[in-house]
């Protein structure tokens, strides 16, 4: 049963879903709160797969491949995946919660407030996005072989920005890897396509193999749109948008008083080259070009400065939203007490030493996780406690030593007094 926003909060395994923040043809996305056995609380984002897809074996294999892939990603600019499991016959992915907004929402807020995004912050967002993508592109397995990860859906809604100025790439949901257990699943065959307006021309045509340069092309579109203040290939008709994106005839960046405009326009033009061999060949190369531009033009940017900008312009809205959320979280405590029954136990924690590879759906139990969990903490040794007889012997030896020391001190004092008396 799919909960509507009117039915929230509701319990889903160990999670308390309290805010429906997104819904698509594949999944619903909730903000959730969970409690550990010790009462520790944590906010998570739950991507819950729709029931009819949870019954589709091919789709679920693809989902599990995605989660295994995302579990390998651990970087400051990539949203972390906590877990993948199945509850009440529905698959879900639990992800890190980022307090803030996505890039699309940020641009809408700026437009509503009639505030422009400073050049250095626009470049900062793209550089941080590239940091996350470059990490994923370079990731290798334990033997050192490259995994060949490609995001393939780099777009404004998949770039998250926190109130602290962090920028993180999320939703590697249609990411492709060459690793054997993922590469066997043809994601393109299962109607999962990236947003057309941000797809590289070779990805649309399907005539050419797609590699990491397709992600860099999408990052170039984001940069063009941030600097131009409008969408690049967006049209009302989807087919027209696709035709424009496939043609890849991006207009040259308009001069809006940018320092060294020609250099900046050339950089954007290179990123948006139709021929992949003429683009930046790696995220690191793209980052270096943007970093050099900032340095040459003495444009100072940092995470703290970006956070200050966000709080200055949107702090009031963020604080109001936080207060509303905390009010709901308080209500969840009451909800938890009302709905706690002996049969509503927490899902079992899987043994990290017994994590099997996925070989189909046989034997998958309700609440069982499909991702490895961190190793369990080892017990802390008890403080040293000497046996009573040992402690008595130690006390006797200490007492004897103290008496001998006191006697020697008295002899020394008497000798000093006698010496001065004879003089």
- Scored b (16 or more CB within 10 A) or e, 226-235 reads bbeeeebbee
Pick the closest to residue 99 from 383, 319, 329, 397 (CA basis): 319
Out of 102, 134, 153, 171, the active site residue is 153
Query: Is 153 an annotated catalytic residue?
Result: yes
Biggest CA pair distance of the chain: 117
Instruction: Find residue 22's DSSP bridge partners.
Output: 29
Distance CA 33, CA 161 (A): 21
The answer to whether the peptide bond before residue 416 is cis (omega within 30 degrees of 0) is: no
* Residues annotated as part of the active site: 153
């Amino acid at each position: 049963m799919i909960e509507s926003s009117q039915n929230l909060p509701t319990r889903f395994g160990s999670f308390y879903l309290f805010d429906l923040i997104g819904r698509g043809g594949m999944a619903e996305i909730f903000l959730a709160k969970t409690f550990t056995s010790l009462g520790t609380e944590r906010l998570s984002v739950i991507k819950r797969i729709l029931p009819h897809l949870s019954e589709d074996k091919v789709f679920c294999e693809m989902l599990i491949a995605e989660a295994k892939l995302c579990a390998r990603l651990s970087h400051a600019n990539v949203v972390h995946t906590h877990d993948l499991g199945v509850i009440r016959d529905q698959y879900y992915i639990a992800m890190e919660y980022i307090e803030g907004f996505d890039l699309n929402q940020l641009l809408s807020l700026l437009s509503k407030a009639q505030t422009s995004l400073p050049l250095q912050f626009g470049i900062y967002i793209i550089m941080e996005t590239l940091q996350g993508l470059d990490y994923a592109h370079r990731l290798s397995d334990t033997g050192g072989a490259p995994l060949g990860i490609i995001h393939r859906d780099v777009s404004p809604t998949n770039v998250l920005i926190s109130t602290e100025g962090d920028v993180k790439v999320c939703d590697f949901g249609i990411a492709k890897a060459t690793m054997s257990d993922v590469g066997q699943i043809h994601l393109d065959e299962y109607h999962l396509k990236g947003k057309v307006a941000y797809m590289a021309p070779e990805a649309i045509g399907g005539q050419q193999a797609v590699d990491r340069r397709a992600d860099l092309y999408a990052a170039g579109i984001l940069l063009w749109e941030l600097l131009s203040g409008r969408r690049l290939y967006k049209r009302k008709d989807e087919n027209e948008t696709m035709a424009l994106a496939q043609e890849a005839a991006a207009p040259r960046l308009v001069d809006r008083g940018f320092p060294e405009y020609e250099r900046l326009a050339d950089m954007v033009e290179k990123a948006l080259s139709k021929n992949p061999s003429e683009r930046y060949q790696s995220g690191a190369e793209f980052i270096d070009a943007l970093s050099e531009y900032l340095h040459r033009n003495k444009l100072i940017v940092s995470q703290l400065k970006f956070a200050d900008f966000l709080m200055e312009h949107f702090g009031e809205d963020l604080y109001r939203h936080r207060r509303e959320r905390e009010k709901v979280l308080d209500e969840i405590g009451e909800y938890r007490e009302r709905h706690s029954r002996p049969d509503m136990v927490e899902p079992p924690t899987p043994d990290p030493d017994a994590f099997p590879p996925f070989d189909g759906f046989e034997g998958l139990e309700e609440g069982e996780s499909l991702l490895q969990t961190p190793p369990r903490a080892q017990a802390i040794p008890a403080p040293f406690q000497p046996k009573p007889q040992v402690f008595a012997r130690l006390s006797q030896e200490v007492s004897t030593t103290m008496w001998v020391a006191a006697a020697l001190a008295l002899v020394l004092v008497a000798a000093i007094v006698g010496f001065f008396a004879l003089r």
